[in-house]
Structure 1
């Protein structure tokens, strides 16, 4: 397949920017609903109940992650392969939902087979999910500590959560089609609605229990998961009706039929997806342990109250990660896969340069964010917690945990975008190599956790330090891979490309020392105004020092967004 022309690369970048905005909107609204719901119930919720709810969510996440993550990664490796003509390299349609013209019949057949292949592959998620849900349910019911198993409605909640996970996996074929056709707007509408319904269900049941004096335990959280899954099912079925008609593929398992070479292309595509899925599955096991390792260690070694406090600290501390970093990581993974897998190796310099430019821009932006968060976050967090947590959560441990989590946030950001590039660029053999290295990362995390928990006796704070060590070694390996990949394409990537100006570092260190001398801001009105003024002035100063980079990015971004808006108006 020939390298797409520069205008097609521009379309990919524009689609990535548009997709990122919609994905961020999903996270902002869904987290806003969840945040409001948590604040409404937090004042009447005990840390122990929140601790069990955290274990219930870990149960759901584990089923979904092991069942669908490897297949999603494999599908994203080739999201746009059949949307380009094999000879001209030109894209067959300008908009994901625009019906193709009659002279593009062959392209339509190829796209139909591609979409049907992706849908068929997605059913593997449900096939994996059923046994995993049963195994994990048995584990959570029979091996739960007595303190957990005696929580009201615990067994019923585990059963409902299992059903919720299978319903959500049943949506994977539709989700795959939505992702392949880049229907980010439709996805945003469905997922934001589902988040709203979930939050309303949790709040309503807790409010009813509070008014009537009933004990509901963790049942509202299980019901919230079920409402979320049901809304996804009905929502995705509705929004994809037109797409299914236009591209003529089915959401059910369907045998691929074609009289031309497209059938051979689809079979090859299926085999490649299966191979990538198999390689990614074993990697996903280790990655899940690394990602959820703190929750697993907490569940095994600490009390429910400590788990609830740590969960609250992570929810507050990781809010920016879920709102901003996760959408950027997801859309960037799709962009990197499209750029680095849609061209022949001999003609991939333009695509590699475009991928490098996108990566460097994000790394530079994350660097600016880190320069703002690291000095300010630890000193402003306790002030915000005093207003949000209520008397049950007015604890120095919570405040210090969330303050410490501010130092962990930049590591989350850099690791996410680095691993997005690795996922998009790595070959199956390189993925197997990465899986081996992830075993090393797991050992580093385990050793760090043992040191900070058992030797240093730092408790939950030690887990944050262990996670920082874990992310640091993963980032270093990822950067090594990226620089090696770029050198294979004759592209240098020095550290200075994504570093900040020296004056920015000096100002950041200076403010950190000044705030360390000043101490934590108080909770009074004057102290809030004072801290807000300091934060605003410092953020503006950082933006001024990095103004050259910001101006260049705005000049590049404005024409892309303007073109996108004009196309939307014309259609």
Structure 2
């Protein structure tokens, strides 16, 4: 498969995922805003911080390394060995669920049962839901490797919507159930998610042979189950060793990804109510990151992993592939920078209004607006880091991955210490400041790797981080105008003034986007080309 074809598939995956996720996430956004009006801050803190951290930690430790290693293999691999390796995530998940469940029940502070009932049941069901989700891991990796565009997004979005609807109904009709509501909804979510993949592959592999994708390495649904043979190894040991390298890195990356939740959970620096407010603001601030950056990062990681060979530098790669990868990386960096700057500039003036609309005075008063404004800066760093690490992890050799683990270890330790010190100094804002510091270090490392990787070639993809002075001026103009508008029109002046504030922001956004359209012609050409190819591919399929 040529690099241009892989690029077209990656763009198709990212654009389709983006559009569908926007639709489904908006529905979920409305349902969550409704649910927040019926909950206490303490329950929100326990569910969204304590129990969700348990669930995400089990999944991350059990599957992240397997995903990265198995998605990096060549098309000529023995898929039965890869599938056997992926099934190891299930016993690994059982181990982590038992161990971490014991930690959550015996070593951590147990909330007041009158304020947050059924905590023990919640821990057990959230751990069980993580194990259930791991049953679908071989299906997920096979679908991603063969770029089944709509399956992942439809399965996840349908599961999230049904979970939100079930949660809203139970909160409205049976509020006294407490954590039972969210535990059952979480288990329902993972069951629906796995069922979507199983049903899809069962239907696909049970259909007539002519309708099956030719490159699909399995012919029956039973081929996806573990298999043993005496004629060859049960697993690909090269993939297994790469998995171990990624596992060491994943363990450290999890601390950086969920570090503030670990600090809140294990050090008790915030009460459950403050944890709930912080988590709501964190989820709202990262909404755009999940909608836009995550599909792009996942899709183009696959693109870079397929186009580039890990053990070769740029000089020894196919020059056609290197040229395409450099052009794509430059455009992705420009897109991430523009999107992040837009969120940062306009987020400062509209944070309080967004929180008031989303959760009422519980969020818009107090520390909520300051948290969200700081998070807007973090989103800018998050956008750039997503693209740079997307390329870096796809191009690194196994030895470079191992060396990077030491960097991650230092970052993890510094993050935990810095988070604890900053939260003592400036409250929950300290978590975001610590995240910004560590994200900046990770970006610097990735930029250094990319610079060295392309140093001996004629390509300079890091030019994507430069903007024209005219566009920078447009951002500065928009930031100044919307800040003045917030002072006089928001947010205690009533809805007519608020609507006028929104109109000012819409005008400034239009000016900024128009300036970007006129100055960033290479990025516009890239987007038009890839979106056009994506639409054509959708018509053909």
Fold match (TM-score > 0.5): yes
Is the CA contact 1:13–1:335 (under 8 Å) kept in the aligned structure 2? Answer: yes
1:460 deviates by 0.2
Task: Give the conservation status (yes or no) of the 8 Å contact 1:501–1:545.
Answer: no
Change (3 A) 1:560 1:293: closer
Q: Which one of the candidate residues 352, 355, 380 is aligned to 2:350?
A: 380
1:74-223 equivalences under 5 Å are 74-78=69-73, 81-82=74-75, 114-147=78-111, 151-210=116-175, 215-223=176-184
TM-aligned CA distance change 1:36 to 1:368, over 3 Å: same
Find the aligned partners of 1:570 and 1:309 in 2 and give their Cα distance.
Answer: 47
Question: In the alignment, does 2:330 pair up with 1:367?
Answer: no
Whether contact under 8 Å (1:43, 1:391) holds in the other structure is: no
TM superposition shift of 1:518:
5.4
Check 1:310–1:10 CA distance in 2 against 1; reply closer, same or farther (3 A cut): same
* Cα distance, 1:237 vs structure 2: 1.0
Contact 2:167 2:181 in 1 (8 A): yes
Residue 470 of structure 2: which of 499, 503, 506 is its match?
503
Q: Are the aligned partners of 1:448 and 1:469 in contact in 2 as well (CA < 8 Å)?
A: no
Asked if structure 2 preserves the Cα contact closer than 8 Å seen for 1:361 and 1:498, the reply is no
Normalising by structure 2, what TM-score?
A: 0.90
Q: Distance in 2 between matches of 1:492 and 1:568?
A: 32
**Native 8 Å contact 1:329 1:420 kept in 2:** yes
Deviation, 1:352, is: 2.0
Counterpart in 1 of 2:16? 22
TM-score (norm 1): 0.85
Which residue in the other structure is 2:250 paired with? Answer: 284
| Separation in structure 2 between the aligned mates of residue 63 and residue 142 of structure 1, nearest angstrom | 17
Instruction: Provide Cα deviations, 1:464-510, integer angstroms capped at 9, x if missing partner.
Output: 1111111111111110011111125x244275443110122233234
| Cα deviation, residue 116, structure 1 | 2.4
Q: 1:240 aligns with which of 197, 201, 205?
A: 201
- CA shift for structure 1 position 148: 5.4
- For residue 60 of structure 2, the aligned residue among 61, 65, 69 is 65
Match for residue 209 of structure 2?
Answer: none
Secondary structure of the 2:236 match is helix
Q: Answer whether contact 1:73 1:280 (CA < 8 A) is retained.
A: yes
Pairwise CA distance, 1:378: 1.4
- 1:564 to partner: Cα distance: 4.9
Per-residue deviation, 1:16: 0.6
How far apart in 1 are the matches of 2:205 and 2:96? 30
1:468 equivalent in structure 2: 436
Q: 1:540 to 1:217 in 2, by over 3 A?
A: same
- Per-residue deviation at 1:152? 0.8
Q: What is the match of residue 224 of structure 2?
A: 251
Residue 466 of structure 2 aligns to a residue whose secondary structure is coil
Shift of 1:324: 0.9
The equivalent of 1:337 in structure 2 is 305
> How far apart, in 1, do the equivalents of 2:247 and 2:502 lie?
46
Equivalent-residue separation in structure 2 for 1:344 and 1:467 (angstroms)? 33
Deviation at 1:425, TM superposition (A): 0.6
Deviations 1:230-268 (A, max 9, x none): 11222111111254454325121013699xxxx7xxx69
Q: Choose the corresponding residue for 1:315, options 259, 269, 283.
A: 283
Deviations 1:527-552 (A, max 9, x none): 23322222222222222322246544
What is the distance in 2 between the residues matched to 1:556 and 1:135? 48
Question: For each residue in 1:73-108, what CA deviation from the matched residue of structure 2 results, as whole angstroms up to 9, or x when unmatched?
Answer: 101212xx22xxxxxxxxxxxxxxxxxxxxxxxxxx
Pick from 257, 273, 291: which aligns with 2:239? 273
Partner of 1:88: none
Query: How far has the Cα of 1:349 moved from its partner?
Result: 2.4
Distance in 2, Cα, partners of 1:501 & 1:186: 39
Residues matched between the structures, number: 520
Tell me the residue number matched to 1:103: none
* Unpaired runs of at least 5, structure 2: 207-211, 213-217
CA contact (8 A) 2:388 2:443 kept: yes
Say which of 457, 473, 478 aligns to 2:446: 478
Structure 1 range deviating more: 169-178 or 240-249: 240-249
Q: Using the alignment, how far apart are the partners of 2:227 and 2:161 within structure 1?
A: 34
Indicate conservation of the 8 Å contact 1:500/1:546, yes or no: no
Gaps of 5+ in 1: 83-109
Deviation at 1:209, TM superposition (A): 1.8
Q: Displacement of 1:198 after TM fit?
A: 1.0
Contact 2:352–2:364 (8 Å) recurs in 1: no
